[in-house]
Amino acid sequence: MQLQEILYNQGFGTRRVCAGLVQQGWVAVEGDSMSDPATEVAVVEGLQFTVQGTTWEYHEKAYLLLYKPAGTECSQKPSTYPSIYTLLPSPLRLRPNKGAVQGVQAIGRLDQDTTGLLLLTDDGQFIHRMGSPKHHVPKVYDVTTKHPIDASQVDRLLVGVVLDDDPRPVRAAACEATGELQLRLTLTEGKYHQVKRMLAAVGNRVEALHRSRIGGLTLPDDLAPGQWRWLSAEQVDALRTAR
């Protein structure tokens, strides 16, 4: 594949911009400086190249995890708070896509005050697989409540509660009190403000909400709020088969 095409596919701008980056000597591949945009490069996953002093790896599709901080919106066009997409480098936001929206997209959304694990990708099939309720991918939330948790509230969440927009009871796949005001809740479907509405239905209130796990993927302890990293091929494969 031509070098300018690699840069274009990885989100470094239009083909013309990418050609200019190479011609001005700002691109190196595996440590070798390049000057011809048409140079053919053998493309393999993880191929290392440098653009303006920053080292990148080639990924045919981008699969990321992000530690979403509080006070951010999962929207390209936020209404009140900063967008989570401002936490990502521009190549990830500009990767070309067949659809109308460029770059990686969040799989599902977390409320502006909710923190924790968020997945992003430019793989439409993966977004559908992870977001489809029929696949029952478990998501674990750590909840801080306003009032003390009692056994009856846990039991009701496990049996199912009725939300105001759906006559069908919604239940937790797992639920346990981890402290007087702490609850660990596992859901396999996603509805608007679901955790907050479920807690309200049993007479309590969410004071803080944090998503710690999706499928078998746990938010890394060494990742700080606002930081992101690539998912490994093994992690992506495990998520594809998560139930």
- Place 100 in a pLDDT band, splitting at 50, 70 and 90: low
According to the model, what pLDDT value does residue 164 have?
A: 81
Residue 130: predicted pLDDT: 87
**Candidate list 111, 113, 123, 166, residue with the active-site label:** 111
Domains of the chain (ranges; CATH) run 3-57 (3.10.290.10), 63-133+217-240 (3.30.70.580), 138-214 (3.30.70.1560)
- pLDDT-derived band at 135 (thresholds 50, 70, 90) equals confident
User: What is the average pLDDT across 79-101?
Assistant: 90
Query: What mean pLDDT, rounded, does the chain reach?
Result: 93
- Pairwise pLDDT comparison (132 vs 17), residue with the higher score: 17
Global pTM exceeds 0.85: yes
Does pLDDT of 243 surpass 80? Answer: no
Residue 127 to residue 129: CA distance in whole angstroms: 6
Q: Is the pLDDT of residue 97 over 90?
A: no
What's the pLDDT tens digit per position in 192-217? 889 999 999 999 999 999 999 999 99
**What is the Cα gyration radius of the chain?**
21
240 has pLDDT over 70: yes
pLDDT attached to residue 189:
85
Task: Indicate the pLDDT class of residue 132, thresholds 50, 70 and 90.
Answer: confident
Long-range (24+ apart) CB contacts under 8 A made by 85-92 are: 87/226, 87/227, 87/228, 88/64, 88/120, 88/228, 90/11, 91/10, 91/11, 91/12, 91/56, 92/11, 92/62, 92/64, 92/120
Report the percent of the chain where pLDDT is more than 90.
83
Q: For residue 135, what is the DSSP state?
A: G
- Is 166 catalytic? The answer is no
Average pLDDT over residues 94-118: 90
Residue 160 has pLDDT above 90, yes or no: yes
* 79 within 8 A of 73, measured Cβ to Cβ: yes
Q: What is the mean pLDDT of residues 145-174?
A: 92
